[in-house]
Structure 1
Amino acid sequence: MKAIISIFLLLVLVGCGQVSGEMTLEEINDSQSVTSANNNEPFLSFRWIEKGYDGTFVPIKNKVDQSSQEIYQQFGDPISRGHYEGGIYWEYDQATYFFNPDTNRCVAIAINIEEHNITSEEMKRQLGTPDQSEMNEMDGFWMYIYQLGEYELLFETEQKEGPLLYAWLKKTL
């Protein structure tokens, strides 16, 4: 009798998907979000917008508007230094920092996000519709821009619906 009940319970569990390895709806939704390679937290999330309003760039947990001295104390010598659009940049492994040459304060941070394979559609699902979407003729990139008060969150791609390559948090001038 116990064997019959055990077989019956096993059949019921398999029929309900509890033993067969089927994923629940919640597991399917979780697996579809863009996640960081380091942990299970989403790489791209609405926190980018929320924290961007105070100048915090979520993926690297750092702020725009720091002095060049503060950046140097955090990261040391940059991999490279140069000039871009009348300003100065310092490139590090995790990000490139752009400085106003008159104030020596960071006015933008850029990161390469190509490895995360984020599409413009995924960006819109996570962050909403951008405030601007246009071609930057000078750099040759399509840009998606979110206005965040004193800051802009910007994404660049080679073509309008292509995978996102770079993300920026910029202080509006």
Structure 2
Amino acid sequence: MTDKWQGDWFTSSEPAIIGQLNTYDETEEGFSFNIKVSNDDPTPKSEDSSEFFVSVKSIGSGYAKKNGSIAVSEPGQNGCVLTFQMGAEGIEVKESEECADPELSVDFNHTFTPADTFVIDEHFLASIKEGKFTPDGYGIGTPIRTITHELGEPDAEIQRNEAFYHIYSNTGYGTAAGENTVGLLTVIRPEPLTPEDVKKLMGEPEQEGLNEMEGLYFYYYTIDDKYELYFEFLPEEKTLLRFHLRELKLM
């Protein structure tokens, strides 16, 4: 297990616990994070109530200071502190007593693991021309209902920028607000390619530069005047963090 904390981490357990931990802006001192865990099995509002609700617990923006394989968050307004421990399986999170909420049937005490690594193979170049990443994968334009029917509930669901992602293993299927078909594909856990590796595969990028909003360096390609392909790299490590495919938006 790498000692790098930055990335997208997931947890799921029976009967209906799903959670995601996103760590970003990592430095030698610490990292920023957001965390959300939900129990999608509806819980009665009270013992005698016929009304139910879904328990959701989240921290929208936090910061944790690192000390070796341990990181501790700065206290929240209610004194809630999270302790993160990097282990062989992933990041184990433990919450302090101040984080407890007796009205919720969910907590942050879970181990979050990275998605399986996506390896770009010899079929990749042909597949992206068809709007997908693998020959047998789901492509752009696929109804989300088809994916959930065949694969079941997603490992996690993430709102990022203006897209809502259904995460399965190493791939996110993104839909825009009000849409029910896939408009954006994202690999969130690719093999750690360098910019030079991507150039050998794809050729010189049509555009490249620093995305100042996210602090990532990007390569941009168009695919047969139909799709846009973005590779995003960690600028200091010079390794691939994720890549996206979507329909080409003509001006």
| TM-score, normalising length: structure 2 | 0.46
Where structure 2 has 5 or more consecutive residues not aligned to the other structure, the ranges are 1-115
Any idea what SS the aligned residue of 1:64 has? coil
Establish whether residue 143 from structure 1 lines up as the match of residue 218 from structure 2. Answer: yes
Partner of 1:48: 124
Inter-partner Cα distance in structure 2 for 1:79 and 1:53 = 27
Between structures 1 and 2, the one with greater helix share: 1
Inter-partner Cα distance in structure 2 for 1:128 and 1:170 = 19
For residues 95 and 131 of structure 1, do their structure 2 counterparts lie closer, same or farther at Cα, with a shift above 3 Å needed? Answer: same
**What do the CA deviations read for 1:137-163 (whole angstroms, capped 9, x no partner)?**
222211111111221121111117801
Contact 1:87 1:100 in 2 (8 A): yes
Where structure 1 has 5 or more consecutive residues not aligned to the other structure, the ranges are 1-36
Q: Percent identity?
A: 23
Amino acid in the other structure paired with 1:50:
A
- Tell me the CA shift for residue 69 of structure 1: 0.6
Inter-partner Cα distance in structure 1 for 2:240 and 2:120 = 11
- Tell me the CA shift for residue 74 of structure 1: 2.6
Root-mean-square deviation (Å): 2.6
Number of aligned residue pairs: give it.
Answer: 132
Establish whether residue 87 from structure 1 lines up as the match of residue 163 from structure 2. Answer: yes
Inter-partner Cα distance in structure 2 for 1:123 and 1:46 = 13
Please point out which of 187, 193, 204 is paired with 1:118: 193
**What do the CA deviations read for 1:12-65 (whole angstroms, capped 9, x no partner)?**
xxxxxxxxxxxxxxxxxxxxxxxxx99xxxx43574333322212138733122
For residues 162 and 131 of structure 1, do their structure 2 counterparts lie closer, same or farther at Cα, with a shift above 3 Å needed? Answer: same
Inter-partner Cα distance in structure 1 for 2:240 and 2:196 = 10
The 5 Å alignment of 1:23-172 reads 43-44=119-120, 47-58=123-134, 61-114=137-190, 116-148=191-223, 149-159=225-235, 162-172=238-248
Between structures 1 and 2, the one with greater strand share: 2
| TM-score, normalising length: structure 1 | 0.65
Inter-partner Cα distance in structure 1 for 2:181 and 2:220 = 22
- Tell me the CA shift for residue 134 of structure 1: 1.7
